[in-house]
Chains A and B, each alone.
Chain A
Amino acid sequence: MSRYLHSKNVLGQSLFQKINECRVLIIGAGGIGCELLKNLAMSGFLQIELVDLDTIELSNLNRQFLFQKQHIKKSKAKVARESALNFNPDMNIIAHHANIKDSQFNVEWFKSFDIVMNALDNLDARRHVNMMCLVADVPLIESGTEGYLGQVTVIKKGISECYDCQPKPLKRTFPVCTIRSTPSQPIHCIEWAKSYLFSQLFGLPEDDDDERLEAEMTDENANEIDNLRRETQALKQIRAAMGTLDYPQRVFKKVFTDDIIRLLRMEDMWKNRKPPVPLIYEDIENLVTEGDSDLNYIEDYNMLKDQRIWSLAENFVVFLDSVRRLSNTLLKKHISNPNATLLFDKDDQDALDFVTASSNLRSIIFSIDVKSQFQIKAIAGNIIPAIATTNAIIAGMIVFLDSSRRPRVLVSESLTSPNPECRVCNNTHIILRVNTRTATLRDFLEKVVHGQDDDEMDINEVTVEEGGRILYDVEYDDNLDSTFEQLQITDGKLVTVKPEEQSTSIFAISHRENFETSNIWFEVEGTPFVKNQISHNDSAHKRKLEESEFDASERSSRKRPAVEESTVEVVSDDETISISREGIYEHEIYENGIREKNKVYNIDDENIDKEVIKDDKKENRIWGIIVID
Chain B
Amino acid sequence: MHVDKKTQKYDRQLRLWHANGQTALETAKVCLINGTATGCEILKDLVLPGIGSFTVVDGKIVDGSDVGNTFFLVPDSIGKSRAEVVTEFLQELNEDVKGFHLPENPIALIENQPEYFLQFSIVITTNIPEKPLLKLADTLWNAKIPLVVVRTVGFIGYFRIALPEHTIVETHPENILDLRLDVPFLSLKQYVKTYNFDTLDSMDHGHIPYVVILLKYLEQWKQDHDGKLPSTSAERNEFKQLIQSGKRNADEENFDEALSSAWKACTATKVPRQVEEIFKDSSCENITAESSNFWIIVRAIREFVSNEGLLPLAGSVPDMKAYTSGYVAMQNIYRQKAKEDISIVRVHVHDILTSIGRSIDSISDDEIDSCCKHASFIQVLRYRSLQEEYITDPKKSDIGRWLRDSQESIVNYVLIRAMDRFYESHNRYPDAATFFLEDDAEEASEEARSEFSTLKTYVNILLGEWDITNYPEHLDNYIHEICRAGGSELANIASLLGGMVSQEVIKLITRQYIPINNTIVFDGVKSTSSSYIL
Given A388-B45, A410-B528, A7-B491 contact (CB < 8 Å): yes
Listed from nearest, the 4 A-B pairs whose CB atoms lie closest are: A396-B496, A392-B499, A42-B491, A393-B499
Q: Are B323 and A273 in contact (CB under 8 A)?
A: yes
Task: List CB contacts (< 8 Å) of A363-409 with chain B.
Answer: 366-369, 373-374, 377-378, 383-397, 399-409
Q: Are B67 and A3 in contact (CB under 8 A)?
A: yes
Q: Are A298 and B1 in contact (CB under 8 A)?
A: yes
Given A7-B491, A148-B503, A389-B502, A303-B4 contact (CB < 8 Å): yes
Q: Does A412 contact B (CB under 8 A)?
A: yes
Within 8 Å by CB of A7, from B14, B45, B490, lies: B490
Q: Does B117 contact A (CB under 8 A)?
A: no
Binding site for B on A (CB under 8 A): 1-14, 35, 38-39, 41-43, 58-59, 61-63, 65, 68-69, 86-88, 147-148, 184-185, 271-274, 297-298, 301-307, 318, 321, 347, 349, 353, 366-369, 373-374, 377-378, 383-397, 399-410, 412
Q: Are B484 and A9 in contact (CB under 8 A)?
A: yes
Interface string of B1-28 (1 = CB under 8 A from A): 1111111111111111001000000000
Q: Are B492 and A42 in contact (CB under 8 A)?
A: yes
Given A9-B484, A392-B498, A400-B492 contact (CB < 8 Å): yes
Given A43-B490, A390-B503, A59-B495 contact (CB < 8 Å): no
Kindly list chain B residues whose C-beta atoms are within 8 Å of the C-beta of A349: 1-3
Q: Are B408 and A406 in contact (CB under 8 A)?
A: yes
Instruction: Give A279 to B122 CA distance when docked, in angstroms.
Output: 54
Within 8 Å by CB of A41, from B2, B49, B71, lies: B71
Q: Are A42 and B12 in contact (CB under 8 A)?
A: no
Q: Are A62 and B48 in contact (CB under 8 A)?
A: yes
Instruction: Give A389 to B50 CA distance when docked, in angstroms.
Output: 12
Q: Are B323 and A272 in contact (CB under 8 A)?
A: yes
Q: Are A388 and B49 in contact (CB under 8 A)?
A: yes
Kindly list chain B residues whose C-beta atoms are within 8 Å of the C-beta of A399: 492
> Who on chain A is nearest to B432 by CB?
A9
Q: Are A396 and B12 in contact (CB under 8 A)?
A: no
> Chain B's nearest CB lies how many Å from the CB of A612?
45
Excluding A387-B506, A400-B524, A402-B527, 6 further A-B contacts by CB distance (< 8 Å) are A8-B437, A10-B490, A87-B72, A397-B496, A409-B500, A409-B531
Q: Are A69 and B74 in contact (CB under 8 A)?
A: no
Task: List CB contacts (< 8 Å) of B61-92 with chain A.
Answer: 63-65, 67-69, 71-75, 92
Size category of the binding interface on chain B = 35 or more
Kindly list chain A residues whose C-beta atoms are within 8 Å of the C-beta of B11: 59, 62, 377, 383
Q: Does B420 contact A (CB under 8 A)?
A: no
Kindly list chain A residues whose C-beta atoms are within 8 Å of the C-beta of B65: 1-3, 5-6
Q: Are B490 and A6 in contact (CB under 8 A)?
A: yes
Q: Are A9 and B324 in contact (CB under 8 A)?
A: no
Instruction: Give A88 to B63 CA distance when docked, in angstroms.
Output: 15
Q: Are B407 and A391 in contact (CB under 8 A)?
A: no
Q: Are A274 and B503 in contact (CB under 8 A)?
A: no
Instruction: Give A391 to B493 CA distance when docked, in angstroms.
Output: 14
> Who on chain A is nearest to B3 by CB?
A306
> Chain B's nearest CB lies how many Å from the CB of A153?
12
Within 8 Å by CB of A39, from B50, B436, B492, lies: B492
5 residue pairs bridging A and B, Cβ less than 8 Å apart: A62-B11, A87-B71, A148-B513, A397-B496, A404-B527
Q: Are B8 and A385 in contact (CB under 8 A)?
A: no
> Chain A's nearest CB lies how many Å from the CB of B156?
10
Instruction: Give A166 to B300 CA distance when docked, in angstroms.
Output: 50
Task: List CB contacts (< 8 Å) of B500-534 with chain A.
Answer: 500, 502-503, 506, 513, 516, 520, 522, 524-531
Q: Are A387 and B13 in contact (CB under 8 A)?
A: yes
> Who on chain B is nearest to A378 by CB?
B15
> Chain A's nearest CB lies how many Å from the CB of B37?
8
> Who on chain A is nearest to B439 by CB?
A13
Given A6-B68, A404-B526, A62-B12 contact (CB < 8 Å): yes
Kindly list chain B residues whose C-beta atoms are within 8 Å of the C-beta of A303: 4, 6-7, 19
Kindly list chain B residues whose C-beta atoms are within 8 Å of the C-beta of A68: 92-93
Kindly list chain A residues whose C-beta atoms are within 8 Å of the C-beta of B323: 184, 272-274
Instruction: Give A273 to B325 CA distance when docked, in angstroms.
Output: 8
> Chain B's nearest CB lies how many Å from the CB of A392?
3
Instruction: Give A39 to B494 CA distance when docked, in angstroms.
Output: 9
Q: Are B1 and A402 in contact (CB under 8 A)?
A: no
Kindly list chain B residues whose C-beta atoms are within 8 Å of the C-beta of A9: 154, 433, 436-437, 484-486, 488
Q: Are A403 and B527 in contact (CB under 8 A)?
A: yes
Within 8 Å by CB of B496, from A11, A367, A377, A393, lies: A393
> Chain B's nearest CB lies how many Å from the CB of A139?
17
Q: Are B485 and A406 in contact (CB under 8 A)?
A: no
Q: Does B44 contact A (CB under 8 A)?
A: yes
Within 8 Å by CB of A184, from B1, B324, B438, B489, lies: B324
Residue of B328, B408, B440 contacting most chain A CB atoms (<10 Å): B440
Kindly list chain B residues whose C-beta atoms are within 8 Å of the C-beta of A88: 71
Instruction: Give A307 to B438 CA distance when docked, in angstroms.
Output: 61
Q: Are A305 and B13 in contact (CB under 8 A)?
A: no
Kindly list chain B residues whose C-beta atoms are within 8 Å of the C-beta of A12: 436, 440-441
> Chain B's nearest CB lies how many Å from the CB of A569?
34
Kindly list chain B residues whose C-beta atoms are within 8 Å of the C-beta of A297: 1
> Chain A's nearest CB lies how many Å from the CB of B323?
7
Q: Are B13 and A62 in contact (CB under 8 A)?
A: yes
Kindly list chain A residues whose C-beta atoms are within 8 Å of the C-beta of B170: none
> Who on chain A is nearest to B93 by CB?
A65
Q: Are B324 and A274 in contact (CB under 8 A)?
A: yes
Q: Are A392 and B4 in contact (CB under 8 A)?
A: no
Kindly list chain B residues whose C-beta atoms are within 8 Å of the C-beta of A374: 7, 14
